[in-house]
Structure 1
Amino acid sequence: MGAAMSKTIKDQTVEQLGGGSSVLVRQRREHQEMDRLMDQYLILDDLHQREHVLKQVVQLVFSHAFAEETVLWPAVRASVPDGEELTARVEEEHQQINDLVADIERLPPGEPGREEKVQRAFALIRQDIRDEEDLLLPRLQDAVDTARLRKLGTTWAAVRQTAPTHPHPVIPRRPPGNALLGVPLSVYDRVRDALGIGSSASRRGR
């Protein structure tokens, strides 16, 4: 698409990415918010404030990843020649983040080893952002037209509104299984978020 073959979406203008409703612009905006929140967490000293920011990171990362896996990665696999390989790599990163955050949510703040898991999760999230913005999303940009990017953006935003906000070991990484299991778990997550029940310690496994 245009002369910008497979150029990272990080430095492109909103117009180059297909306009404000394009899925590429929506993705980048949320990636920037993740980066901002992680940076904020790292400079805070107050434990309560840190926990509040960490909760925001988790909610954003998981709803974002669910929308990617439900809407975006199937489009990449359908339109990009090595889409299967590219999305498998990112799905593996998502799984590692899922497992780490599940561990973090089981440990009380201040518990030895918890902070190290937080740092590892943040490093994985940043790696995931780079893989998506530098490798995967430019390939989608090359493969589909602006109208398709905007349509994907609208669908992505709708799914994003109803996505789970915490890690769940039972959710598969691919449709249709993730959508079927994700909707009831999403309702559960959002009730927990509203009531301020942050821990997953009481969540049953499989």
Structure 2
Amino acid sequence: MLRQRRDHAELDRLMNAFPAAGADGPLRDRLWRDFVQLVFSHAFAEETVLWPVLRRLSPDGEELTGRVEEEHQAINDLLARVEKDKDDPRREALIEEAFRLVREDIRDEEDVLLPRLRAALDDRQLRRVGAAWEAVRMAAPTHPHPAVSRRPPGNALAGVPLSGFDRLRDLIAVDSPSGRRAALALGALAATGAVIVGVRRSARRR
């Protein structure tokens, strides 16, 4: 579980550095971008890899993961509002509330969920689960998508195409006309990819 705890420490560092970065400027923008990207890639990997294992192995896994998934959804909704309108007068208050929820989520995971996984798995199993978590995190979405399911397979069906869209958004200036056109084009491509994956899965079930 060292990988997850490293992410938690980095999130804590980013949240602590953000208020001291000033009202505007490149440092504040970079801290926010890094925070958002890590929040969503981390949470997506947990929901795809870790929490299904916990639900299978722990008698109260459904209750525990359900609570954390509700926290993830609330964070997703808040950060979607923040990203939607940078001039929203409530933006700072929304960011503070998002930080509070992220810190609460980290405490729940550190104090309850990760210890349960550690107790249920031996070292070899933990390494395998950790490697799977890291692989998923590296290919996960990096921006809020409130409508995406919190559980597999729904999150993977939507999340894999969205990941490509998000990571291109991270590389291009979407505020420019050319950036917006590129983002829209990739969004259409991502949606097409999601439909193709869904059709193929449906066909295999028949």
Instruction: Please report how far the alpha carbon of residue 112 of structure 1 lies from its aligned counterpart in structure 2 after TM superposition.
Output: 1.1
What code does the residue aligned with 1:26 have?
R
Aligned residues: 179
Cα RMSD for the two superposed structures: 1.9
Cα distance, 1:36–1:196 mapped onto 2, change above 3 Å: farther
Q: Which residue does 1:124 correspond to in 2?
A: 101
Instruction: Please report how far the alpha carbon of residue 197 of structure 1 lies from its aligned counterpart in structure 2 after TM superposition.
Output: 3.1
Give runs of aligned pairs for residues 25-40 of structure 1, distance below 5 A.
25-40=2-17
Instruction: Please report how far the alpha carbon of residue 169 of structure 1 lies from its aligned counterpart in structure 2 after TM superposition.
Output: 2.2
Q: Which residue does 2:145 correspond to in 1?
A: 168
- Higher RCO (C-alpha 8 Å, min separation 6): 1
SS of the residue corresponding to residue 195 of structure 1 reads coil
Q: Which residue does 2:127 correspond to in 1?
A: 150
Distance 1:46 1:114 in 2: 12
Question: CA-to-partner distance for each residue in 1:124-155, whole Å, 9 max, x for gaps?
Answer: 00000000000111011111111111000110
2:62 to 61, 70, 84: 84
Instruction: Please report how far the alpha carbon of residue 43 of structure 1 lies from its aligned counterpart in structure 2 after TM superposition.
Output: 1.2
Give runs of aligned pairs for residues 60-99 of structure 1, distance below 5 A.
60-99=38-77
Normalized against structure 2, the TM-score is what? Answer: 0.83
Distance 2:173 2:18 in 1: 19
Cα distance, 1:196–1:34 mapped onto 2, change above 3 Å: farther
Instruction: Please report how far the alpha carbon of residue 170 of structure 1 lies from its aligned counterpart in structure 2 after TM superposition.
Output: 2.6
Q: Which aligned runs of 4 or more in structure 1 are off by greater than 6 angstroms?
A: 201-204
Name the % identity: 57
Distance 1:47 1:104 in 2: 15
Instruction: Please report how far the alpha carbon of residue 55 of structure 1 lies from its aligned counterpart in structure 2 after TM superposition.
Output: 1.2
What code does the residue aligned with 1:69 have?
E
Distance 2:166 2:62 in 1: 30
SS of the residue corresponding to residue 147 of structure 2 reads coil
- Could you tell me which runs of 5 or more consecutive residues in structure 1 were left unpaired when the two chains were aligned: 1-23
Distance 1:100 1:46 in 2: 20
Give runs of aligned pairs for residues 15-26 of structure 1, distance below 5 A.
24-26=1-3
2:154 to 169, 177, 184: 177
Distance 1:97 1:152 in 2: 25
Cα distance, 1:152–1:196 mapped onto 2, change above 3 Å: farther
- Could you tell me which runs of 5 or more consecutive residues in structure 2 were left unpaired when the two chains were aligned: 188-206
Give runs of aligned pairs for residues 47-66 of structure 1, distance below 5 A.
47-48=24-25, 49-66=27-44
- Normalized per residue, the structure richer in helix is 2
Distance 2:16 2:39 in 1: 15
What code does the residue aligned with 2:7 have?
E
What code does the residue aligned with 1:30 have?
D
Instruction: Please report how far the alpha carbon of residue 46 of structure 1 lies from its aligned counterpart in structure 2 after TM superposition.
Output: 4.7
